[in-house]
Structure 1
Amino acid sequence: MTSEEDTYDFIVVGAGPAGYALAASLSRAKSKPRVLLLEAGGKNDDETKRVDGKRWTTFMEPTMNWGYKTVPQEGCSGRVIDYSRGKGLGGGSAINFGVYTVGAKDDYDAWGEKVGDEVTFGWKAMQRRFKALETFDGSIELPEHQKYARPDPADHGHDGPLKIGYAKEWEKDLPLILDSLEESGLQRNLDHNSGNPLGMALMINSASGGRRTTASLFEQRQDSDWPIPNWMIIHAPVTRTIFHNKKVIGVETRSQSGSDPKIYYATKEVILSAGTLDTPKILMHSGIGPREDLEKYGIRVVQDLPAVGQGMKDHFNVPLVLRRNPETNDRNSFYGSEEAMSAALTQWNEDKTGPWTKYGCQIVCGWFKSDKIKTLPEFKDLDASVQDFMNRETIPQYQIISGFPMHIMLPELFQDHSYICLLGFLMNQQSSGEVRLQSSNLEDPLLFDPKALTHPYDQRAAIEIYRHLLEIAKHPAFAKDTVSTIHSSPSESDEDILQYWKDNTTSSWHMTGTVKMGKEGDVDAAVDNRFRVFGVEGLRVADMSVVPVMTNNHTQATAYVTGATCAEVLIREYALDEE
């Protein structure tokens, strides 16, 4: 017998960007369905974890990070790579680095093509949802800085829950860096969120007024009071779904106190939004996944679905770190003084202003095509459809970021803070990873194996990407303010550059595609273009695990729009906007 207080119309599992966007949209439908949002972590309501300039250290908070690691990576010198995943309300948006990029319009058009629904998933529909999600502040206060960005208001939203934009104050050397990068040959992009990310741009931040923006802002919409009567948030980790025959009717949660597990029931649907690393775990422990793996650990097979856990993609990156002329910046006066940083935190606590809304708050980024990469044998050996995709107008082969505060990650490298870190990111990797069960124990995470840098194309492209970073560093416009090299490949040979990647590459935490969306009959797909898990009823997945294209961006924006898209599908199917 089910209890009415434990029964909802919809249950959403996971309060990250996708889950929050989904639950909030459902709860605001005209028919006011009862929505339960279940989150395994805590409230994450400590205001000091929202300081804009401290966005680079929040992932180090053990209560906010599941602390996942990969298995040793064969393509990366046998290294174990950090696979941080956000824990608690906001999910990854509570611990990421505050980069808000939507990607290329061709990413979304390709998504629509792959799943047979360009109306729902193509760029036109996705851009409409991106605009509905954001309140964008594109203002730049100093007239001499306004040449660096010129976003078109028609490409942005102005009354959504997510407050994004540019930092009000910039570090002293930011204009100098932007100018020197342009002089070195990098085309300027006046708005990387227009649908075409190609070129070097002023980064749009998931921050506003000195405070980080996380998915929890969906609770604070000005057009409604909180708590919303038909929306409940409960903190409890979900272990598996509950079936009646092959229809999902609820979820089982693990008790925090050690008492018996608790079951919550859904009269309409359960939607998993636990992310690329954990949604497959819930599916597998529910009996949905590769038969061989489930039977190996004594899990009853409800639906043999080999694609679950397969096809994982990610973006990997390496740094080039250079010591700079200290007269070009004033970072030592801040990062080099505990007294200055402490006083700045006091000021931020008082009015959300001061140095912690300046230092580390505005960086630059850009995505690029490479004629050299497209002439390589490793590129020409790719499937024709992959080559066609990478030849589309807005699709890059790599990304460059400037201004990353590397001293936070590798403090032992730095005698002072007058340096610049250029990061090179491999886009559209061809290595394909997986996540697999390691036991039947519900407490054990899956085994995460991205198989980084194992594909010949990835290795060759990585070499060319880093060689471009070195070319930028040697250009007179850039080199005039460089004092020495702090961290780099020991030489410019192919062998040394590739080994440098293998020894130093890190994940961008953009894991995607382990419960891939596709057409009926696609062997690599686990859900259809209505987010429904193949072979069962009443169960959908809406998070980065379903995204069938490794979008060319930092993926929090795609996670938000995935949740919003699933909500639209459900609202339409269940006629929730009909009173």
Structure 2
Amino acid sequence: MAHEQSYDFIVVGGGPAGCTLAASLASSAKKPSVLLLEAGGRNENKSLRVDGKRWKTFMEENMNWGSQTTPQEHCNGRQLDYSHGKGLGGGSSINFGVYTVGTRDDYDLWAAEVDDETFAWDTMQARFKRLETFTGTIDVPENQKYVQSELTDHGNKGGLHVGYAKEWDSDLAMVLDAFEEAGVQRNLDHNSGNPLGFGLCINSACKGLRSTAVDLLTEVSDNLVIVSDSPVQRIILDKNKAVGVEANGRACGFYRRVDSASKEVILCAGALESPKILMHSGIGPAEELSKFNISLIHDLPAVGQGLRDHFFAPLIVMRNPKTNDRNSFYQDEVAMEAAMNQWEIDGTGPWARHGCQLGIGWFKSDRLTSCEEFKALPESVQDFMNRETIPHYEIISHFPVHFIFPQLFQDYSYICLPVFLMNEQSVGEVRLQSSDPDEPLSYNPKFLEHPFDRRACIEIYRHLWDLTKHPSFAKDTVSTIMAPASQSDEDILQFWKNNISSSWHMTGTVKMGREGASDAAVDSRFRVFGVENLRVADMSVVPVLTNNHTQATAYMTGATCADVLIREYRLDE
């Protein structure tokens, strides 16, 4: 069965970037026809939105591509989980709900690298505000001291609801206070443009309900057509001009779907899928395409290169059970079932409390900037990492790791503290491994390949360890569950190699840059070099690995591309 339809714009991928872009285009004054194609399903089951269970949705097979990295040479040959979202909402439906926008210096560097103020902080912050409805109130009076947000830093009319949980685990405030006593600067609002310091995490959730990119689609009129279960395999090209896409869908069985775009095709399939669609359409490194007998349309060596990603390792300690009440909930199946019934009524109760509010902080490290590996970095990289708002690492408190490794825990009084490296220097790639467009690419982030990253992991873990040994925190620690065998460089690095995980912040595989740059594939207007009417607008184009959890950056990439297209096509006139 064949199907063919024409639209003004075709957006490929229903994650944060794609939903933001499609909704913005369709809502413009001229109401262009927009087709949003999503490879996965609609993910409409409300139980997938329980705030306290947001740590488990990535285990839903129909919501996750289920990818793994290649064996990582510098991680003892381990293949690592490389989850990315499948279905409407994309990564926002399976991530851990951390909503952090990054630093103002990230976006100013982006603007400088592509020579376009469209990406500068002041402009990007205005888009962040337009996107969100921020709930920054704290109901418990004694906890008000942990938050102080300026209204000028947040929006109150957007479709994405973000903010703080109404209720927290009972020992979270104790950890915030203990870290402050240990000398850690407090941060009362990480989304102000300067994330340095420790404080409360802003969540992509509100009133016990996870927020996803689908929320941006709810008020769009019927000029936006959404088709799920339609993975795009190739872009249809007329010489070097994109005129449509070819996708497989499910309706009365399998059928071939061909859709055409009178104005633009925009790929928003993410840093692991957009380069695959490009390469199978004949756009990418000529040598790579020739290995799989893919006809070359345009030689673009940067496609598939430049992969960057944040990674982390945990420190887990058992705490005095008297400091929290998690055992009374997680050890009681009846209590959890009753809590689910309460959540279904009004979104309140223990499933809107336990695991719903994290502590989070970003830090600089004098140890790191004084080491030889840092001094060996290019001067431009050193200068960037020394900028006022740029952190070197991140620490999270109260990560509920028992959801991921339930077999390891019968006592839930523990605290898990992951530490994340920022601005890592290892750069990986994604490559073809088949001529079949339904086969995934090979994903190789090359974690720990760069000597700076290896030294940085040692130094930042030492700081985390020091925090947990400070008397203000250590007085309630019963034992250590997971940490390196000793404080030696060798044992700390070996611990990272054995326990490193991806943050699923894949970035840079279709990098944005100036025309003629050997490492760039699109220009600052998201246009693919050498191909007309084809753009890419997702994390694959972002030239800076922003210092945050990158779902917010993905939303902003889609919003920025929408602004560019609306301006070019005069859609708001």
Q: For this structure pair, what is the TM-score category when the shorter chain's length is used for normalisation?
A: over 0.9
Q: Which amino acid aligns with 2:437?
A: L
Q: Alignment partner for residue 178 of structure 2, among 156, 173, 180? A: 180
Q: Matched residues in 2 for 1:371 and 1:285: separation?
A: 46
- Corresponding position of 2:114: 115
Equivalent pair of 1:106/1:394 in contact (CA under 8 Å): yes
Q: Matched residues in 2 for 1:293 and 1:249: separation?
A: 24
Shift of residue 410, structure 1, vs aligned partner: 2.1
Percent identical pairs in the alignment equals: 64
Query: Which structure 2 residues correspond to residues 256-295 of structure 1 after superposition, within 5 A?
Result: 256=250, 259-295=254-290
Equivalent pair of 1:413/1:486 in contact (CA under 8 Å): no
Equivalent pair of 2:277/2:437 in contact (CA under 8 Å): no
Equivalent pair of 1:307/1:526 in contact (CA under 8 Å): yes
- Corresponding position of 1:246: 240
Q: Residue by residue, what CA displacement relative to the aligned partner does 1:43-90 show, whole Å, maximum 9, x if unpaired?
A: 100000000000000111101111011011011110010011111110
- Corresponding position of 1:141: 139
**1:162 maps onto 2:160 in alignment:** yes
Q: Matched residues in 1 for 2:273 and 2:91: separation?
A: 13
Q: Matched residues in 2 for 1:260 and 1:417: separation?
A: 49
Q: Matched residues in 2 for 1:111 and 1:219: separation?
A: 28
Q: Matched residues in 2 for 1:414 and 1:230: separation?
A: 50
- Corresponding position of 1:230: 223
Q: Matched residues in 1 for 2:520 and 2:253: separation?
A: 37
Q: Which amino acid aligns with 1:241?
A: I
Q: Matched residues in 1 for 2:403 and 2:249: separation?
A: 36
Shift of residue 412, structure 1, vs aligned partner: 3.0
Equivalent pair of 2:374/2:452 in contact (CA under 8 Å): yes
Query: Which structure 2 residues correspond to residues 94-109 of structure 1 after superposition, within 5 A?
Result: 94-109=93-108
4+ aligned runs moved over 3 Å, structure 1: 255-260
* TM-score calculated relative to the size of structure 2: 0.98
**1:68 maps onto 2:67 in alignment:** yes
Equivalent pair of 2:171/2:323 in contact (CA under 8 Å): yes
- Corresponding position of 1:571: 566
- Corresponding position of 2:402: 407
- Corresponding position of 1:52: 51
Shift of residue 414, structure 1, vs aligned partner: 2.1
Q: Matched residues in 2 for 1:352 and 1:260: separation?
A: 40
Q: Matched residues in 2 for 1:565 and 1:177: separation?
A: 38
Shift of residue 409, structure 1, vs aligned partner: 1.9
Q: Alignment partner for residue 345 of structure 1, among 340, 349, 355? A: 340
Q: Residue by residue, what CA displacement relative to the aligned partner does 1:304-345 show, whole Å, maximum 9, x if unpaired?
A: 000000010000000000000000000000111111111111
Shift of residue 142, structure 1, vs aligned partner: 1.2
Shift of residue 413, structure 1, vs aligned partner: 2.6
Q: Matched residues in 1 for 2:454 and 2:513: separation?
A: 28
Q: Matched residues in 1 for 2:253 and 2:457: separation?
A: 48
**1:298 maps onto 2:293 in alignment:** yes
Shift of residue 255, structure 1, vs aligned partner: 3.8
Q: Secondary structure at the match of 2:459?
A: helix
Q: Matched residues in 2 for 1:28 and 1:555: separation?
A: 25
Equivalent pair of 2:331/2:410 in contact (CA under 8 Å): no
Q: Matched residues in 2 for 1:144 and 1:346: separation?
A: 29
Change (3 A) 1:90 1:259: closer
Q: Secondary structure at the match of 1:312?
A: coil
Shift of residue 415, structure 1, vs aligned partner: 3.3
Q: Matched residues in 2 for 1:386 and 1:475: separation?
A: 33
Q: Secondary structure at the match of 2:133?
A: strand
- Corresponding position of 1:429: 424
Change (3 A) 1:259 1:403: closer
Shift of residue 259, structure 1, vs aligned partner: 4.4
Query: Which structure 2 residues correspond to residues 2-81 of structure 1 after superposition, within 5 A?
Result: 6-81=5-80
Q: Residue by residue, what CA displacement relative to the aligned partner does 1:166-220 show, whole Å, maximum 9, x if unpaired?
A: 0001111111111001111211000000000000010000001110000000122
Shift of residue 30, structure 1, vs aligned partner: 0.6
Q: Matched residues in 2 for 1:319 and 1:418: separation?
A: 16
Q: Residue by residue, what CA displacement relative to the aligned partner does 1:539-576 show, whole Å, maximum 9, x if unpaired?
A: 00000000000000000000000000000000001111
**1:334 maps onto 2:334 in alignment:** no
Q: Which amino acid aligns with 1:99?
A: V
- Corresponding position of 1:198: 196
Q: Secondary structure at the match of 1:311?
A: coil
Q: Matched residues in 1 for 2:9 and 2:218: separation?
A: 21
Equivalent pair of 1:82/1:507 in contact (CA under 8 Å): yes
Q: Matched residues in 1 for 2:351 and 2:200: separation?
A: 19
Q: Matched residues in 2 for 1:327 and 1:229: separation?
A: 55
Shift of residue 371, structure 1, vs aligned partner: 0.9
**1:218 maps onto 2:216 in alignment:** yes
Change (3 A) 1:230 1:183: same
Q: Which amino acid aligns with 2:535?
A: R
Q: Alignment partner for residue 490 of structure 1, among 455, 470, 485? A: 485
Q: Residue by residue, what CA displacement relative to the aligned partner does 1:216-249 show, whole Å, maximum 9, x if unpaired?
A: 001224xxxx5x1210001211000001110000
Shift of residue 260, structure 1, vs aligned partner: 4.7
Equivalent residues, number: 570
Q: Secondary structure at the match of 2:260?
A: strand
Q: Matched residues in 1 for 2:336 and 2:265: separation?
A: 46
Q: Residue by residue, what CA displacement relative to the aligned partner does 1:483-524 show, whole Å, maximum 9, x if unpaired?
A: 000011010000000000000000010000000000011110
Equivalent pair of 1:315/1:508 in contact (CA under 8 Å): yes
- Corresponding position of 1:525: 520
Q: Secondary structure at the match of 1:261?
A: strand
Equivalent pair of 1:109/1:121 in contact (CA under 8 Å): yes
Q: Alignment partner for residue 387 of structure 1, among 357, 382, 386? A: 382
- Corresponding position of 2:206: 208
Equivalent pair of 1:314/1:511 in contact (CA under 8 Å): yes
Stretches of structure 2 that go unaligned for 5 or more consecutive residues are none
Q: Secondary structure at the match of 1:283?
A: helix
Q: Which amino acid aligns with 2:88?
A: L
Q: Which amino acid aligns with 1:497?
A: I
Q: Matched residues in 2 for 1:577 and 1:493: separation?
A: 61
Shift of residue 105, structure 1, vs aligned partner: 0.3
Equivalent pair of 1:12/1:38 in contact (CA under 8 Å): yes
**1:416 maps onto 2:411 in alignment:** yes
Q: Matched residues in 2 for 1:61 and 1:229: separation?
A: 30
Q: Matched residues in 2 for 1:386 and 1:552: separation?
A: 14
Query: Which structure 2 residues correspond to residues 504-515 of structure 1 after superposition, within 5 A?
Result: 504-515=499-510
Stretches of structure 1 that go unaligned for 5 or more consecutive residues are none
Q: Which amino acid aligns with 2:14?
A: A
Q: Residue by residue, what CA displacement relative to the aligned partner does 1:373-404 show, whole Å, maximum 9, x if unpaired?
A: 00000000001111011011000110000000
CA-atom RMSD in angstroms: 1.1
Q: Residue by residue, what CA displacement relative to the aligned partner does 1:78-119 show, whole Å, maximum 9, x if unpaired?
A: 0010011111110000011010000000000000000010x2
Q: Which amino acid aligns with 1:230?
A: N
Q: Residue by residue, what CA displacement relative to the aligned partner does 1:392-448 show, whole Å, maximum 9, x if unpaired?
A: 100011000000011122223323001111110000010000000001012210000
Q: Secondary structure at the match of 1:448?
A: strand
